Amino acid sequence: THRQSGAATKTPSTVTIRGHTCKTDPEWFNIPDNVLDSATRRLHLQKDHPVYITRQIIQANFPTPTFKYHNDFSPVVTTRQNFDSLGFPADHPGRARSDTYYINDTTLLRTHTSAHQAETFRANESDGYLISADVYRRDAIDRSHYPAFHQMEGARQWDRDEVPGGDVAAAVLRDLETLPKHDVIVEDPNPPWHAERNPVQDQHHTNAEAEAIGAHLKRSLENMVVDVFSRAKAAAKRADPNFVDEPLRMRWVEAYFPFTSPSWELEVYYAGDWLEVLGCGVVKQDLYINAGVSSKLGWAFGIGIDRIAMLLFKIPDIRLFWSRDDRFISQFTGVSDDLEKLKLFAPFSKYPPSPRDVSFWLKASTSSAAGGNVKNVFHENDIMELVRNIAGDVVEDVRLIDEFTHPKTGRKSMAYRIVYRSLERTLTTEEANKYHDNVRRALVAELGVELR
Ligand code: FA5
Ligand code: MG
C-alpha cells in the first residue's frame, strides 16, 4: 500500500494521547511526532495564553446558563463521531488520509469540534453549548494555517414543545430582540436562503423558522466579532491615544456543510485581505432526530479560535501560538484575570526570510484504469507535511509557483517556493540550504519525484 509521507518511519504499536491509549494500524497511522507533541499542549486551557484569552472573550459573548461550556473533550474520536454522525458521505474528501490524521481505520484526531455535536445534543443539558478544543488537519502551510489549531463550537436550540403556541419563528425573533444591536456595516448580499444554493430543510422547517434562526445566528456572531474588535481597539488606544484603526469590515458568504442548511461563512477584512473566521448554519434536523431530541431546532457554528486571536492581538503568524519563547508568552501575563490589561502583540523580531524553490517531475504511473494514460499520483498535503516534518516551525509558507504537463509524455512538472524563516532568530544561509537539501532528498525518497 502507498505509505503517506510524514508518517513516522516506524509505526509504534500503540499511541497514548492525553492518557488515552490506542492500538495503531500501520496501514492507517499517519501522525508525525510534531503533531503528537501539539496534542499535549492544550493552549486553550493555558492561562494567559492568547488562545485561552480569546476563548474567554468568545465565551463571555455566549453566557451561562443558556450555554453550557465543555472545554476538555478528548481529541481522539471515532470516524462515526467526526464524520458519520454528521452526515458526511462515505467518499467525502475530508475522510482521506491525505487530509486527516488517523490512528487506525476507525480512530482519528478530530478535524473539527463538530465531532462532538451528536453526543452533546443527546446529553440535552441546556438550550445551548460551547465546546472549545484542539483540532488537527493535514493542510496548507502559510501564516494562517497550522496542522493543529483550536475551534470553538457553539449551538443554540429551541424546543417546539416548549415555545408558546409551538411558534418557533416567533420565539426566536423575540430572543433576537433581546440581543444587543451593533452599528458595524456587514456585507450580506445573499438572500436568507436559496432554493438551489442554500436550501431550507423544507420537510422540517418553515421558511420563517429558517430565516429567524439564521438572523439570530448571524447577529450573535457579529456581536462576538464586534466585541473582539472593540477590545483590540481599546488596547491599541491605551498604548497610543492617537491610534486610528481601519474600520471593522465583515461579510457573510454562502457555504456548504453536510450537517447544516442553509449554511454560511463569516469573513473579516484583515491586513488587506478577507480572512474566513467561522462556518455556521441551521442544524440538519436528522442530527436532533438521531440524538433523540426531535422537537428541537436551532443553529450551530464553528470558529477558528487562532484566527480570531490573530485579529484580536494583531499576531501576524499562526506559528507564534506554539512558541515557548518568553518574549512571546510573557506579553500576555495577567490578562486572563484582567482583560483591561490586554495589549496588542509587540513583534520582537522580523528576521529575514530565506526563500528556496524546488521543481520536479511527479512520479508517473501508467494505469489501465486511466485508459493507458499517464496518471500523476500526488496530493499537495503530502508536500506540506514533508516540509513541516523537516523544517518544523522554521517553515513559514509553501506555495505552488508553476506547473505544467509535458505535451508529449503527459508527465507533470511542479515548482514550489518554500519560505524558511525562524520567528526567533536569523537563519544562516547554510542552515536554510541544509533544510532545503533535506526537503529535496525527502521528496525523492518519500514521494518518488524526479528533481529538475
Ligand atoms: C468546520 O470545521 C465546521 N465544523 C464549522 C461548522 C460548525 C459549520 C458548526 C457549521 C456548523 P471549516 O473547515 O470551515 O468548518 O473550519 C472552521 C474554521 O476553522 C475556519 O473558518 C477557520 O477559522 C478555522 N480553520 C480551518 N482550518 C484551519 C487551519 N489549518 N489553521 C487554522 N485555522 C483553521
Ligand atoms: Mg471553511
**What is the C-alpha to C-alpha distance for residues 86 and 16, in angstroms, rounded to an integer?**
26
pLDDT at 374: 61
What ligand 1 atom has the least distance to the C-alpha of 112? 2
Q: What is the pLDDT of residues 12-23, one digit of tens each?
A: 999 999 998 999
Closest residue CA from atom 33 of ligand 1:
304
Shortest-distance ligand to the CA of residue 304: 1
Closest residue CA from atom 26 of ligand 1:
304
Count Cα neighbours of 90 within 13 Å in the Cβ-side half-sphere: 0
Shortest-distance ligand to the CA of residue 88: 1
CB under 8 Å to 272, separation ≥6 — which residues?
A: none
The answer to whether the predicted template modeling score (pTM) of the entire model surpasses 0.90 is: yes
- Which residues lie across from 129 on neighbouring strands? 68, 155
Closest residue CA from atom 19 of ligand 1:
304
Closest residue CA from atom 7 of ligand 1:
302
**What is the C-alpha to C-alpha distance for residues 310 and 345, in angstroms, rounded to an integer?**
9
Give which of 431, 430, 156, 92 is closest to 301, Cα–Cα.
156
pLDDT at 394: 96
pLDDT above 70 covers what percent of the chain?
Answer: 95
pLDDT at 373: 59
Contacts for 196-205: CB closer than 8 Å, 24+ residues apart = 197/254, 198/254, 198/256, 198/261, 198/262, 198/263, 198/264, 199/261, 199/262, 200/261, 200/262, 200/282, 201/261, 201/282, 201/284, 201/285, 203/285, 204/285, 204/297, 205/282, 205/285, 205/297
pLDDT at 246: 82
Looking at per-residue pLDDT, the higher value among 125 and 9 belongs to 125
pLDDT at 350: 80
Give the mean pLDDT of 39-53.
97
Looking at per-residue pLDDT, the higher value among 246 and 133 belongs to 133
pLDDT at 55: 98
Shortest-distance ligand to the CA of residue 155: 1
User: 281 CB less than 6 Å from ligand 1?
Assistant: yes
Residue 265 Cα to chain centre, angstroms: 12
Q: What is the pLDDT of residues 431-442, one digit of tens each?
A: 999 999 999 999
What is the average pLDDT value for the chain, to the nearest integer? 93
**What is the C-alpha to C-alpha distance for residues 97 and 136, in angstroms, rounded to an integer?**
12
User: 260 CB less than 6 Å from ligand 1?
Assistant: yes
State how far the alpha carbon of 387 is from the alpha carbons of 217, 317, 399, 438, in Å: 39, 17, 11, 9
Q: What is the pLDDT of residues 262-278, one digit of tens each?
A: 999 999 998 889 999 99
3-state DSSP of 101-146: CEEECCEEECCCHHHHHHHHHHHCCCCEEEEEEEEECCCCCECCEC
pLDDT at 245: 77
pLDDT at 238: 92
Given ligand 1 and candidates 54, 58, 134, 149, which is best to mutate, with the most ligand atoms within 8 Å of its CB?
149
The per-type count for the chain, helices as H runs and strands as E runs, is 11, 19
pLDDT at 10: 76
pLDDT at 271: 80
Q: What is the pLDDT of residues 358-387, one digit of tens each?
A: 999 998 765 555 455 566 668 899 999 999
Q: What is the pLDDT of residues 252-266, one digit of tens each?
A: 999 999 999 999 999
Task: Compute the distance from residue 246 Cα to the ligand 1 centre, in Å.
Answer: 25
Give the mean pLDDT of 38-60.
97
> Is residue 440 within 8 Å of residue 452, measured between CB atoms?
no
Q: What is the pLDDT of residues 212-235, one digit of tens each?
A: 999 999 999 999 999 999 999 999
Task: Compute the distance from residue 350 Cα to the ligand 2 centre, in Å.
Answer: 30
User: 302 CB less than 6 Å from ligand 1?
Assistant: yes
Which DSSP symbol is given to 166? Answer: G
> Is residue 18 within 8 Å of residue 38, measured between CB atoms?
no
pLDDT at 367: 52
pLDDT at 252: 98
User: 280 CB less than 6 Å from ligand 1?
Assistant: yes
Type of residue numbered 296: K
pLDDT band, very low/low/confident/very high, at 161 (cuts 50, 70, 90):
very high
User: 277 CB less than 6 Å from ligand 1?
Assistant: yes
pLDDT at 378: 80
pLDDT at 119 over 50: yes
Crossing angle (nearest 10°) for helices 207-239 and 50-60: 130
pLDDT at 244 over 90: no
**Phi-psi group of 102: left, alpha or beta (phi > 0 → left; psi -120 to 50 → alpha; rest → beta):** beta
pLDDT at 174 over 50: yes
Closest residue CA from atom 32 of ligand 1:
145
Task: Compute the distance from residue 220 Cα to the ligand 2 centre, in Å.
Answer: 19
What ligand 1 atom has the least distance to the C-alpha of 265? 21
User: 231 CB less than 6 Å from ligand 1?
Assistant: no
pLDDT at 402 over 60: yes
pLDDT at 391 over 90: yes
Look up cell 485561552; give the residue.
Answer: 52
User: 114 CB less than 6 Å from ligand 1?
Assistant: yes
pLDDT above 90 covers what percent of the chain?
Answer: 89
